[in-house]
A and B are shown apart, each in its own frame.
Chain A
Amino acid sequence: MIKIEKRNDVSPSIYFLTPILAIFLTLFGGGIIFYALGFNPLEALKFFFITPISDLYGFSELLVKATPLCLIAIGLSFCFKSNNWNIGAEGQLIFGGIVGGGVALLFYGHDGFYVLPIIVLSGAIGGMIFAMIPAVLKTYLNTNEILVSLMLVYVAKLLLDYLVVGPWSNPEGFNFPETRQFSESARMPILFDGLRIHAGIFITLITVFLSWLILYKTYLGFQIKVSGLSLKTAKYAGYKGKTMIIIVFMISGACAGLAGVGEITGPIGQLHRNISPDYGFTAIIVAFLGRLNPVGIIFASLIVALTYLGAETAQIFLQVPKYTGQVFQGMILFFLLGSDYLLFFKIKFLGLKKNEL
């Protein structure tokens, strides 16, 4: 007979070490998969995880990918910590991109230092407004935020599709589904010549710091923590539950919107159909891998960003599809959830021993 029991106390150090265990298990699992595909596992893993960041350009690419992932995951941590399941960050990212991109097109040909801040701000507001839809529906009509936020992802995607094909498409673009290239004033400054790393990384770092401040040092953060642990207690303490749901969704949406606008004004420079390789969904893995902790999320975003790069390298050198990246992301989540289960529960095998444990 097998019996599953909750563990009474889990030490904090092991709590933060299990994500690392999950990463090693992922490497191991990945090795097995490569072996099954007929590759030398160690060599394949080297192509996947070491080659991409073995030069400066690769390292800059890592930061380029980690920048939006970290930003979105930080925003999501506000929602997840307070038991609000916003899984529509991808939609909020796209909508932020649409609003920011629209403003960028509006300023087409304008010069001036004010252009970029206005675009960035409008992108954040766009994401925020889009995230408020599931929040308001949840608080006033009791809808399920998981479904609403997820479905809105497709609304945003289709809207973007319509805009880049129709009204916003580049008049000189031979009907390609994309907008004009934004003016130089609407682009994130590049930090180093020849590398794609841009000023968006500072937005991310500032957001990480502010989030840490809010979550651990303010009344709002305390309320988020209590609500996440027990909604009944939050109600009893008199916290305004509805307002808080809306606030965490706004924060989370603004972060996703910032990530979106950072992408289109940074590495992309225009709007087209694929402004995000599912950053909004992958950030959910980042948030949990980083234990919803701002510092943890920084590290987690770097690791997950590496799977994006690794997939590209592997495609080139090993001729495997770039979707291997998603396989690795899936494995990270799988092993994380698996080790968490063993962390919080213990499995007892009864009947094997004569005396009970």
Chain B
Amino acid sequence: MNTKLRVSEISKIYPGCVANDEISLEFGSGKIYALLGENGAGKSTLVKILSGVVRPDKGEVFLNDKSIKLNSPLDAKKNNIGMVFQHFNLFETLSVFENLSIDSDKKNEDLRLSVNNILKKYNFKIDLDIPVLNLSAGQKQKVEIIRCLIRNPKVLIMDEPTSVLTEQETEDLFVSLKQFSDEGILIIYITHKLKEVLSLCDEVAVMRKGKVVSVSKTKEEKIETLANKMVGENLSTIKKKIKNFKYSEEILKISNLNFRSDDPYETNLINLNFSLKKGECLGIAGISGNGQSELFQILSGEIITDYTSIKFRDKEISKLNPRERREYLMAFSPEDRISQAAVPELKIYENVALNNFKSSNFFEKGLVNEKKIKEHSKKILSNFSVNTDNVEMKSQFLSGGNLQKLIIGRELITSPELLVCFNPTWGLDVGAINYIHETLININEQGKSSILISTDNDELLKLSDRICVIYKGKLSKIMYVNEVTPEKLGILMGGGSID
């Protein structure tokens, strides 16, 4: 089976942004192609065009030299183009088999037979008759892949498939993808992770601002060369110095942190104990949904739990709300920038006023001191290089990176002793990630402490002094960063044990 896929001069213009600008690419079966680019580079638009979700303003798609019309996802299926999205489209309460049968026109018995063949052939271990909600993220992804395989795809498109997987699951996925490729399926792999491109793909197309800036063989590329192509400038990489905290002052001590939730979608936390030294960064790794969000909210004071002791510089703060904790010089940067850390409908200066610490005098005698808030906001915008100086602008017009800079700036401009942040670079482009990382390393160097809850292992290894893993609400032992490897983290994140 020899497949050739060609896109020719594809353009797609959204109001205010050219998502795809005359894109021409050629793919042939037997190889794995990477489509690499920052957020907003136009990868997703191109992929949506190929899967029939979005129609291009201009340009054509050729499959085996025949022009094809992709007006709907159904057309893509008819042309044997399969697509696995970053977010799964599965019904959680239905069984695996029921999910597969929804969009299949085969008879149930035939379908079961072909699914079982696929399971056997690729050595997937999934029980077809249990509800999808009992599956791990990796297994759910396999269900999505099976859904594509049933239709004997010629082209398989994977959109950022590893963002929810553990190290081991990622390796399994790569093995499967290579197997598919050997069987003649053309694979297009979308990512912004450079390491994956180098270890998995044969060819790489780099996109930037809606254009293809380079097409090359991965053999000829290195992480640095790809990164520079992706960002369009030379990035300086910063490294953290390894320090010894043995004799440093203990700043935070958590004992007997327990949390039971009535909400079935929340995770219970079981007996967490840890402490943090001055100037130290403690990384907490884990696959999302293992209790990170609950832990963050308990640290910030959004959730108050009984019997837990949180001592911050020897003061018991476990019963204080977030505003009161800020008075003790703690700061918090939540995962959800858009609906929690900031309100998009509010102006920049109003979002700054959310962090109303006592000495700010934002609200004197209960009245709003707009002048003071605006002055303070201007300082944040310039100190944290947010790309605007208009404090009257609504925050919804800031890009993700700039909004995150604003939030981190708002939290850090008070020089807090402790910053708790949760996935601070999630969904940001390389430039912004670099800036945030630099900032987080800087605060540690100034003797301020931080807790970094993150699902990005590279980030954790780069920024943390000590790392532990949260799995189903329990914390692993805490390790020094120099004794941690991605493999060890992967085992702990999947619920295994080491040593």
Cβ–Cβ contact A236 & B300, under 8 A: yes
Cβ–Cβ contact B368 & A238, under 8 A: no
Q: What is the bound-complex CA distance between A229 and B302, given in angstroms?
A: 17
> Which segment, of B21-29, B237-245, B340-348, B382-390, faces chain A?
B340-348
Cβ–Cβ contact A238 & B343, under 8 A: no
Cβ–Cβ contact A217 & B368, under 8 A: yes
Cβ–Cβ contact B340 & A236, under 8 A: yes
Q: What is the bound-complex CA distance between A239 and B57, given in angstroms?
A: 48
* A274 interface hit (Cβ, 8 Å): no
**CB-CB < 8 A to A8: which residues of B?**
396
Cβ–Cβ contact B322 & A238, under 8 A: yes
Q: What is the bound-complex CA distance between A250 and B261, given in angstroms?
A: 31
* B332 interface hit (Cβ, 8 Å): yes
Q: What is the bound-complex CA distance between A307 and B244, given in angstroms?
A: 77
Cβ–Cβ contact B346 & A226, under 8 A: yes
Cβ–Cβ contact A218 & B55, under 8 A: no
Cβ–Cβ contact B346 & A237, under 8 A: no
**CB-CB < 8 A to B326: which residues of A?**
238
Cβ–Cβ contact B366 & A229, under 8 A: no
**CB-CB < 8 A to B396: which residues of A?**
8-9
Contacts of B348-368 to chain A: CB distance below 8 A: 350, 353-356, 363, 366-368
User: Which of the residues B301, B323, B332, B343 comes within 8 Å of A226, measured between beta carbons?
Assistant: B343
Interface readout for A238-277 with B: 1 if CB under 8 Å, 0 if not?
1110000000000000000000000000000000000000
Q: Which of A8, A220, A222, A226 neighbours the largest number of chain B CB atoms within 10 Å of its CB?
A: A222
Cβ–Cβ contact B324 & A233, under 8 A: no
* A110 interface hit (Cβ, 8 Å): no
User: Which of the residues B302, B343, B363 comes within 8 Å of A235, measured between beta carbons?
Assistant: B302
* B334 interface hit (Cβ, 8 Å): yes
**CB-CB < 8 A to B324: which residues of A?**
238
Cβ–Cβ contact B368 & A219, under 8 A: yes
Cβ–Cβ contact B55 & A240, under 8 A: no
Cβ–Cβ contact B340 & A218, under 8 A: no
**CB-CB < 8 A to A219: which residues of B?**
356, 363, 366-368
Cβ–Cβ contact A240 & B321, under 8 A: yes
**CB-CB < 8 A to A232: which residues of B?**
336, 339-340
Task: Given A218-B368, A222-B363, check contact A230 B323 (CB 8 Å).
Answer: no
Interface readout for B81-99 with A: 1 if CB under 8 Å, 0 if not?
0000000000000000000
* B54 interface hit (Cβ, 8 Å): yes
* A356 interface hit (Cβ, 8 Å): yes
Cβ–Cβ contact B343 & A229, under 8 A: yes
**CB-CB < 8 A to A222: which residues of B?**
350, 353, 363, 368
Give A237's nearest chain B residue, CB to CB. Answer: B354
Cβ–Cβ contact B355 & A237, under 8 A: yes
**CB-CB < 8 A to B367: which residues of A?**
217-219
User: Which of the residues B55, B302, B321, B323 comes within 8 Å of A355, measured between beta carbons?
Assistant: B55
**CB-CB < 8 A to A235: which residues of B?**
302, 322
Cβ–Cβ contact A233 & B366, under 8 A: no
**CB-CB < 8 A to B325: which residues of A?**
238
User: Which of the residues A216, A220, A230, A240 comes within 8 Å of B366, measured between beta carbons?
Assistant: A220
Contacts of A313-352 to chain B: CB distance below 8 A: none
Q: What is the bound-complex CA distance between A229 and B363, given in angstroms?
A: 20
Q: What is the bound-complex CA distance between A240 and B363, given in angstroms?
A: 16
Cβ–Cβ contact B341 & A236, under 8 A: yes
Contacts of B310-342 to chain A: CB distance below 8 A: 321-326, 332, 334, 336, 339-342
Q: What is the bound-complex CA distance between A237 and B362, given in angstroms?
A: 14
Cβ–Cβ contact A233 & B353, under 8 A: no
Cβ–Cβ contact A233 & B345, under 8 A: no
Q: What is the bound-complex CA distance between A232 and B338, given in angstroms?
A: 10
Cβ–Cβ contact B353 & A230, under 8 A: no
Contacts of B282-328 to chain A: CB distance below 8 A: 300-302, 321-326
Contacts of B158-216 to chain A: CB distance below 8 A: none
Cβ–Cβ contact B350 & A233, under 8 A: no
**CB-CB < 8 A to B54: which residues of A?**
356
Task: Given A219-B366, A233-B342, A233-B343, check contact A238 B323 (CB 8 Å).
Answer: yes
Cβ–Cβ contact B356 & A237, under 8 A: yes
Cβ–Cβ contact B302 & A218, under 8 A: no
Q: Which of A232, A235, A237, A239 neighbours the largest number of chain B CB atoms within 10 Å of its CB?
A: A237
Question: What is the distance, in angstroms, from A213's C-beta to the closest C-beta of chain B?
Answer: 9
Q: What is the bound-complex CA distance between A240 and B301, given in angstroms?
A: 12
Cβ–Cβ contact B350 & A236, under 8 A: no
Contacts of B49-87 to chain A: CB distance below 8 A: 54-55, 57
Q: What is the bound-complex CA distance between A235 and B336, given in angstroms?
A: 13
Q: What is the bound-complex CA distance between A219 and B57, given in angstroms?
A: 49
Give B364's nearest chain A residue, CB to CB. Answer: A219
**CB-CB < 8 A to A9: which residues of B?**
394, 396
Cβ–Cβ contact A233 & B323, under 8 A: no
Cβ–Cβ contact A236 & B55, under 8 A: no
Question: What is the distance, in angstroms, from B294's C-beta to the closest C-beta of chain A?
Answer: 14
Question: What is the distance, in angstroms, from B346's C-beta to the closest C-beta of chain A?
Answer: 7
Task: Given A218-B366, A220-B366, A235-B302, check contact A229 B345 (CB 8 Å).
Answer: yes
Cβ–Cβ contact A230 & B343, under 8 A: yes
Question: What is the distance, in angstroms, from B392's C-beta to the closest C-beta of chain A?
Answer: 13
Cβ–Cβ contact A237 & B366, under 8 A: no
Q: What is the bound-complex CA distance between A146 and B356, given in angstroms?
A: 32
Contacts of A163-178 to chain B: CB distance below 8 A: none
Q: What is the bound-complex CA distance between A22 and B440, given in angstroms?
A: 52
Q: Can you name 21 A-B pairs with beta carbons within 8 Å?
A: A9-B396, A216-B368, A217-B367, A217-B368, A218-B363, A218-B368, A219-B356, A220-B366, A221-B368, A225-B346, A226-B343, A230-B343, A232-B336, A233-B339, A233-B354, A237-B354, A238-B301, A238-B321, A238-B322, A356-B54, A356-B55
Residues of B in contact with A (beta carbons under 8 Å apart): 54-55, 57, 300-302, 321-326, 332, 334, 336, 339-343, 345-346, 350, 353-356, 363, 366-368, 394, 396
The 8 lowest CB-CB distance pairs between A and B, nearest first, are A238-B323, A238-B322, A219-B363, A356-B55, A238-B321, A237-B354, A232-B340, A229-B343
Q: A222-B368, A229-B345 are in contact. List 17 more A-B contacts (CB 8 A).
A: A9-B394, A9-B396, A218-B363, A218-B366, A221-B368, A225-B350, A229-B343, A230-B340, A233-B339, A233-B341, A236-B340, A237-B354, A238-B322, A238-B323, A240-B321, A355-B55, A355-B57
Residues of A in contact with B (beta carbons under 8 Å apart): 8-9, 216-222, 225-226, 229-230, 232-233, 235-240, 355-356
